[in-house]
Structure 1
Amino acid sequence: MEYTTLLYQVENRIAKITLNVPEKMNALDKKISMELTAVLQEIKNDDNVKVVIITGTGRAFCAGGDISFFKTLDLEGSIEFVKAAQSLVGAFINLPKPIIAAVNGFALGAGLSLALLSDIVISSDKAKFAAAFVNVGLVPDLGALYFLSRLTGLQKAKELVFTGKNFDAEEASRIGIVNIVVEHEKLEAAVSELSEQLAGKPAIAMASAKRLLNMGMDLGIDELLEIEAFAQSRCMQTEDCKEAVDAFLNKRKPVFK
């Protein structure tokens, strides 16, 4: 599939998605939301891909929703747009491969939501974040209401949502939104190093762990242990596990498929 609002490439089992509407600071509209959902579905079906990177061109990772587009929507159109955009949430969460967000610049509103939906966030020290929805009369969307408080705590989430204030990468790291902060010029190298590391890990184990971690946010321990038992038993039968055991016994480094 050809994409007009993003760039897509796969190299060494690593897929890179670059939001590519710099004149609008990669703001989400119907087109970019549909294409991002579609490329994640393409990746889901591509066994050659083990790790995903998402980033943006220009000064922004994603500066939120395209509010100029909102003016064209009536209530029915608004509902249709929001529900279409919400398909991104499932596309991120249900992708059985780790997603690394490389936050190169502004991650505001829906851009913050995309970072929250990602599995690991590496940020430039020049990046700026904001749950900026209130500043344009909106509530957080794309799962931000679900994930933000779970990462930052309820009181901090309320502060960020009610004020809509900007905060820097160091603050984002301190409150649990960002995993790693690096100098802006070193962002690409840091993301490349981590993505290559993950690409060398066993795919089924990572997929199972991602699913269980996401489910574990809402399940009780007994329910999670039941699912864990099935997942672990399945992993034990994989070629990757057998390779790891053989490598351990023979004192060599495992090579996973």
Structure 2
Amino acid sequence: MKIDTIGHVRHLINDRPERRNALGAETMRQLLAALEAAERDAEVKAVVLSGAPPAFCAGSDLKELGALSIDGMCEHELETARIARRIGSLSKPVIAAVEGFALGGGFILAISCDLVVSAADARWHLPEVANGWLPPWGLQALLTRVSPAQARRLVWGDVPIDGRRAEALGLVDVLADDGRALGEALALAERLAALPAQAVASTKRFFAPFTSLDGERLDVLAARYFADDCRGSAAQTTLRKFMVKQ
């Protein structure tokens, strides 16, 4: 995780380009530490989360998950979920800047942020069902932004969508020209950072019950379905590629 500070904006960069910025356990630990440090720093008024070029995030690190038992995978995904939910309880706005693609857990991590800026040509996709399982966390964040019917179609993931379609659905708050998502996100963060910090924090606190609802319970439920799915034949075919231990 690379960390930069621009005025009152803290910029966090998931810097694993060799793994397409996949979400491994260490990456998530670093993200949580960086978020907590930003929360404690009175000089930081807003946070931007991006991925090292050329993309935002490819989702869970399947090579890492493939070394775990199914129970171990569930524990890993529940910890990832807990860290993603922490974004909503911070007092400072967190903005995702999406370029290239946001896949699987990367898709969900982006929409777990308070605001999402996406390049028009960015590829958004939830490929988990095609792999044989339900996305194991973050579906409350999806339901916060789109209707249950739209969420179900997105989770089935029969076709990827681009940034334009993501904005039309409500997944994306600001649509940027190709290659301009980070610049737009930083500019948005600077505008939010210029607002009275106490009022910004009060706004997050007021809306938190409506955006988080029972996210923790739903993550536990999704993880349970995920575990059941992972014992099925389609998931087993996928998992064998990554040498999952039973």
2:116 alignment partner in structure 1: 121
1:212 and 2:206 matched: yes
2: CA distance, partners of 1:218 / 1:24? 30
Q: Secondary structure at the match of 1:62?
A: coil
More RCO (CA 8 Å, sep 6+): 2
Contact 1:19 1:57 (8 Å CA) reproduced:
yes
The 1:217/1:40 distance shift into structure 2, 3 A limit, reads closer
Question: Identical aligned pairs, as a percentage?
Answer: 31
C-alpha contact 1:133 1:164 (8 A) present in aligned 2: no
Q: Confirm or deny that 1:179 pairs with 2:173.
A: yes
Distance 1:164 1:214 in 2: 31
CA contact (8 A) 2:85 2:112 kept: no
Say whether the 8 Å CA contact 2:125–2:157 is kept in structure 1: no
Q: How does 1:1-257 map to 2 (within 5 A)?
A: 6-143=1-138, 145-217=139-211
Question: Hey, what's the Cα distance between the residues in 2 that align with 1:194 and 1:218?
Answer: 23
Deviates more, 1:154-163 or 1:102-111: 154-163
Q: Are the counterparts in 2 of residues 27 and 66 from structure 1 also a CA contact under 8 Å?
A: yes
For 1:94 and 1:194, how far apart are their aligned partners in 2?
A: 20
Which residue type is aligned with residue 87 of structure 1?
A: R
Shift of 1:217: 4.5
In angstroms, what is the RMSD of aligned CA positions?
1.6
Which structure is larger by alpha-carbon Rg, 1 or 2?
A: 1
Contact 1:41–1:91 (8 Å) recurs in 2 = no
TM-score, length of structure 1 as denominator length: 0.78
Is contact 1:89–1:142 with CA below 8 Å preserved after alignment?
no
